Amino acid sequence: MTRKPLRNPLDLTLIRARISQYVTLKDALACAVVCRDWTDDFNRYIWHTIDFDVHKEFTNLDKATILKHGHRIRIIKNAKEIAQLNIIQHVSICRLRSLSVTTGTTSCTRSQCYEILRRNNTSLTYIDLFILGPLGNEPGLVFSVDTISPSLNTDAMSKLTALKLKGLTLTRDAFSSLLRMCPLLKSLDIRYTVLSSTGTSEIYQHPAVTSLASPIKQAFIPDPEFPDSPSLFAHFPNLEEWKTWIAHTSHPEVSMQTIKAETTRYCPLLKSIYTELISTQTVELLIKGFEKLKGVCVLHKHISTEMIVAILAHHKTLEFIMTYTSFHKFYDYDGIPPVESHFQESGWAVQTMLRLCPRLTAFQFPLHEMDIDEIEKENWSCNNLEQLHIRIRGLDTDDMINRTFRLWIDWRGKKKSSPSFEPVLPSDGGKISLEARVARHLLKFEMLSAVWLGNGIRKV
């Protein structure tokens, strides 16, 4: 009996399709010329995402090439120029899932933008539309909301789950219509947009939106000519998180009493705040604007002792505390990112949050360097901690961090097999190594599943 020759696994479409997700664009282009089957599989990856900030040559492609491959494009990022709009206006680009466009207010660019939205409104799940024009709360381009709604002549429904609008003008009724057209919408980011009101404007309440990003003035004074019109919160009865900041002014134009009254009235589930407000403003928002918050996220450069005290006003209910940096690729930093000098001398204050918040499941403080001596002075009360992003002073090389993780994962496995397991601590001349001390501390948290110590998030 003759044995069939073994098949090359790379001849399997499924295997090639998975491999194509992990190769570089340069390698994918090389693979695409191997044969017709490989061309089909790798072209899906090559054409899947077009980022005009990265793929600058895309603007120069001829119409025949776009006609042949445009149907493969799913994501368009950073379309900002007329030439770029001309390209993505091609009829073959009709299955987009994500679209990010920055355009002007001319009738030409407006019609181009509308045409692109209409052609893809049955497949888009994310839209980021920024109209370059008057900023602040001045009238901008009047937005035609029907461009994002599938035609009434079809059974299709909008798949939009996230929407970002910037620099537009809508009537309040049109805004309500837009919300009604997008029943799957979960996240809304709205800024520099005027919602012109009347005494009889409809306030449609969207049941699915749980996240709102909007500066304070935009949220509470959507139309400066009608300052008493309902806030944006009136539209979102199931809102859970609010991301906010102050635009074009150093002080909020809305009192904290108004914020508390409006959110309490319309959004009883709103318990998570992401804020870029400076320290004094954040303190006021946390103390006077909300009660029993579950989550707080702030810019690290604004952290202060007073802010931590304000955060701890919610210590019985807090489930996550996070700080972040404006450097959006911080966790993909090539090497170990630097710590910030800001607030390093007040490490004891950071520890109080971990010691006094028993319901905490996520703590992310990646720009602050903790002292293991301070950590070991008193137990953390957050026994159900699941995510931890911190830095430890002295644990500052890849080798040291990797050794810490190896120790922790090894001990964790042994403790699961034998709950009475206690690690034998390696030492150097009778002194316990820093890596062992950190691993021993991590071992206290049985629910811990994602840890970052400076060089990559480890999940177990």
Q: What is the pLDDT of residue 6?
A: 43
Give pLDDT tens digits for 364-392.
999 999 999 999 999 999 999 999 999 99
Q: What is the pLDDT of residue 298?
A: 95
Q: What is the pLDDT of residue 33?
A: 46
**Between 171 and 134, the higher pLDDT residue:** 171
CA 321 to CA 295: how far, in whole Å?
6
* Average of per-residue pLDDT across 346-375: 96
Instruction: Give a yes or no: residue 157 inside a domain.
Output: no
Q: What is the pLDDT of residue 143?
A: 82
Q: Of 25-34, 334-343, 384-393, 410-419, where does mean pLDDT reach its minimum?
A: 25-34
Three-state DSSP string of 336-394? CCCCCCCCHHHHHHHHHHHHHCCCCCEEEEEEEEECHHHHCCCCCCCCCCCEEEEEECC
Give pLDDT tens digits for 34-69.
455 555 665 677 788 899 998 888 888 888 888 888
Judged against a pLDDT cut of 90, whether residue 204 lies above it is answered with: yes
* Average of per-residue pLDDT across 396-403: 95
pLDDT band of 131, cuts 50, 70, 90:
confident
Q: What is the pLDDT of residue 246?
A: 81
Instruction: Give a yes or no: residue 396 inside a domain.
Output: yes
Instruction: Give a yes or no: residue 63 inside a domain.
Output: no
DSSP result, 225-259: T-TTSPPGGGG-TT--EEEE---SSSS-SS-HHHH
Three-state DSSP string of 268-329? CCCCEEEECCCHHHHHHHHHHHCCCCCEEEEEHHHCCHHHHHHHHHHCCCCCEEEEECCCCC
Judged against a pLDDT cut of 90, whether residue 183 lies above it is answered with: yes
**Between 11 and 67, the higher pLDDT residue:** 67
Indicate the burial class of 251 (C-beta count within 10 angstroms; 0-12, 13-18, 19 or more).
exposed
Instruction: Give a yes or no: residue 102 inside a domain.
Output: no
pLDDT band of 338, cuts 50, 70, 90:
confident
Quote the mean pLDDT of the chain: 86
Instruction: Give a yes or no: residue 4 inside a domain.
Output: no
Instruction: Give a yes or no: residue 257 inside a domain.
Output: no
Give pLDDT tens digits for 216-256.
999 999 888 888 889 999 999 999 999 999 865 566 679 99
CA 164 to CA 189: how far, in whole Å?
4
Helices and strands, counts by H and E, the chain: 15, 20
Domain CATH code at residue 458? 3.80.10
Domain of residue 32 covers: 11-47
Judged against a pLDDT cut of 50, whether residue 78 lies above it is answered with: yes
Q: What is the pLDDT of residue 137?
A: 45
CA count, 13 A, side-chain hemisphere, 2: 2
Judged against a pLDDT cut of 90, whether residue 414 lies above it is answered with: yes
Instruction: Give a yes or no: residue 226 inside a domain.
Output: no
pLDDT band of 104, cuts 50, 70, 90:
confident
Task: Supply the DSSP symbol for 160.
Answer: -
- pTM score, two decimals? 0.86
Q: What is the pLDDT of residue 11?
A: 52
For the chain, how many structural domains are there in total? 2
Q: What is the pLDDT of residue 55?
A: 81
Total number of residues shown for the chain: 460
Closest CA to 162 of 105, 243, 221, 53: 243
Give pLDDT tens digits for 311-335.
999 999 999 999 988 766 777 777 8
Q: What is the pLDDT of residue 427?
A: 60
CB 295 within 8 A of CB 317: no
**The token pair that represents 373 in the structure block:** 């001596």
- The partner residues of 320 in beta bridges, in order of sequence, read 295, 362
